[in-house]
Every structure is written in C-alpha cells, then in structure tokens.
Amino acid sequence: MQTELNLSSSAATPGGPLADLLAMLQSGGPVVALLIAMSVAATAIVLAKAWQLRGIRSADASRTGEALSLWQAGRTGEAVARLQGAPGPLAATISAAMRGIRQGMEPEMVRAETMRFAADTLETCRSGLRPLEVIASLAPLLGLFGTVLGMIEVFRQLEAAGNQVNPAILSGGIWEALLTTAVGLAVAIPAVVALNWLERRIERLAHTADSAITRLFTRNLPPAHHSEATHVGDFHPAAVAQGGD
C-alpha cells in the first residue's frame, strides 16, 4: 500500500524538461507572460499571412508571362484562355485587364482600373505586417525592461540583507532578471526573420505585377539592326568641321 502511494505521488509530481521550462518561465514574472502572448500573436500572424500569400508562386508569374507573350503576338483569345482558372492574384489581375480590352473599353480606363486593382491586392497582402513589426521591435525592449526591474529587486534585497548577504540569492536574482532579456530576444529574432520574408514576397509580387501591366499595354522594343547601330554610332569629324564653317 505504501509502495502504491509513493508511485502515485511520484507520477503526480511534474518533472522533466517541460516542468523545468515552465518553472523558468514562471520565474520571469509578468514580463515573460506578456512576451509569450506576443510570441503567440506573432506566430498566428505569420501563419495567416503565409496562407494568404500561398497563391504567389513562380508558376503564377510563369503562366502570366506566357499569356502576355501570346497577347503581344496578337493571339488575344489564347492569352485569355491561358489565364482562365489561374488561382494567383497576378494572373487574375492581368486576365481581367485582357477581357476589358477585348470588350472594347478604353485602354487608359482599363490601365487605371488594373493599377487600382493591383494596388488594392498589394494593400491586402501588406495588412497585418505592422503588428508583426511592432512585436519584433517591442519584444527586446520589454525583455530589457524586465531585466532592469529584476536588477532593481536584486539590489533592494541586497540593501535589506545588510552585512548578511547570501551569494546564492544574489546570483539567483540576477539569473531571473536576465531571463526576460533572453525571452525577449527569442521572440524578436524569429519575428524579424518572418517579417523580412513576408515583405520580400510582397515586393516581388509588386514588381512582377508592375512589369506585367506595362507589358500588357506596350509592345516589346524591336532589336536594333547592325546597320542602324553603325549609322547612329558613326562620327565624322570632317562633317562636323564643315558644318561649323
């Protein structure tokens, strides 16, 4: 019976790395709790933005480029059919512009509406990045703030102890104070990496959309012939001299 009680009590007693981690986080106080909440919020934002931007793939840009090549070759029907059913935002934008031009709308009106639609799409993609930026900037400051509060508490205990200072209490207080800085950095570093990754994907989408819209309303520049380049590049000092006389 005594053995069963010992086994049950040992099973109920928390232990292992998880318990040590929870105890360590509890030592950080409310600052660590706030940093953990910020970490959860940052993780939710990153996952939501990654799901939102899942349609921005290289295949979307490649498919749009093929459709634009068909469009510039005069095969407008095939270009529209090539983008039909494309899930990406870039393909949807260019497809809508192609249909508008084929329906006889004014090119300037179609271009303005396409630019507006592209701007709205980019703004939707950028939504939610500002809170992530705030978390990435604020987490180290909160960690440092917690460390300062912890050091203040350590020196207060030193003053109260007087001549009977216990080095174990001193080292334990400093350890708990530095814990908040470590947690703040652990929250901020992944947030900064995720923020830069998301911003880079959105910048790439903006550049690709601008290039595709320009190609839709313009033609490729023809390559310069060798004779034309030679003629433009010729320089005859005698002719210049005669012109100056």
Domain range list for the chain: 28-217
Other CB atoms within a 10 A radius of the CB of residue 220 amount to 9
Span 140-152, average pLDDT: 87
Amino acid making up residue 229? A
Span 84-106, average pLDDT: 81
| Model confidence pLDDT, tens digit, residues 101-133 | 888 888 888 888 888 888 888 888 888 899 999
Q: Where are the beta strands (DSSP E) in 36-170?
A: none
Who contacts 29 (Cβ-Cβ below 8 Å, separation ≥6)? 146, 149, 150, 176, 180
Match 């507006």 to its residue by tokens: 116
Q: Determine contact, residues 147/178, Cβ cutoff 8 Å.
A: yes
pLDDT score, position 199 = 92
- Listed range (60-69, 152-161, 210-219) with the worst mean pLDDT: 152-161
Cα of 7 vs its chain's centroid, Å: 50
Q: 163 or 205: which carries more pLDDT confidence?
A: 205
Q: 172 or 186: which carries more pLDDT confidence?
A: 186
Q: Determine contact, residues 124/93, Cβ cutoff 8 Å.
A: no
Q: Determine contact, residues 53/127, Cβ cutoff 8 Å.
A: no
Q: 81 or 159: which carries more pLDDT confidence?
A: 81
pLDDT score, position 207 = 87
Q: 93 or 223: which carries more pLDDT confidence?
A: 93
Residue 171 in this model has a pLDDT that exceeds 60: yes
pLDDT score, position 240 = 40
pLDDT-derived band of residue 55, with 50, 70 and 90 as boundaries? Answer: low
Quick one: which of 45, 52, 197 has its CA closest to 135?
Answer: 45
pLDDT-derived band of residue 90, with 50, 70 and 90 as boundaries? Answer: confident
